[in-house]
Amino acid sequence: MTDINAFIDDKVKNNDVFLFMKGSPDFPQCGFSGQVVQILSYLGVEYGSANVLESEELRDGIKAYTNWPTIPQLYVKGEFVGGADIVREMFQAGELQSHLQNAGIAVKQTA
């Protein structure tokens, strides 16, 4: 396993909810990352994040890790949930809230 894969693996497996994004939760640097941050914030979910713009190795590594071409990427309990479109659709349907609660993640608000 390469160093970047080990880093990604560590973040995904040691955080209940983790978001690989462009920018930071306080300053998202793309609209899609911003949407996922807004959804997680609205739900009151605690999560870790990594800014893929800080490292080309991380940006390429996360895409290879999941075989998913876009960022952001959301993980819950080590499982890849999806990117912005999937997260938004799940949220709007109430599926994201259920998925988080079923994984033992506290959700403060429901849509």
Instruction: Determine whether the annotation assigns residue 30 to a binding site.
Output: yes
Whole-angstrom Cα distance, residue 29 to residue 15?
A: 22
Structure tokens at 58: 């991380």
The amino acid sitting at 4 is I
Q: How many CB atoms within 10 Å of residue 53?
A: 16
Whole-angstrom Cα distance, residue 107 to residue 45?
A: 6
Whole-angstrom Cα distance, residue 39 to residue 50?
A: 17
**Annotated binding-site ranges:** 30
- As annotated, the binding site for [2Fe-2S] cluster includes 30
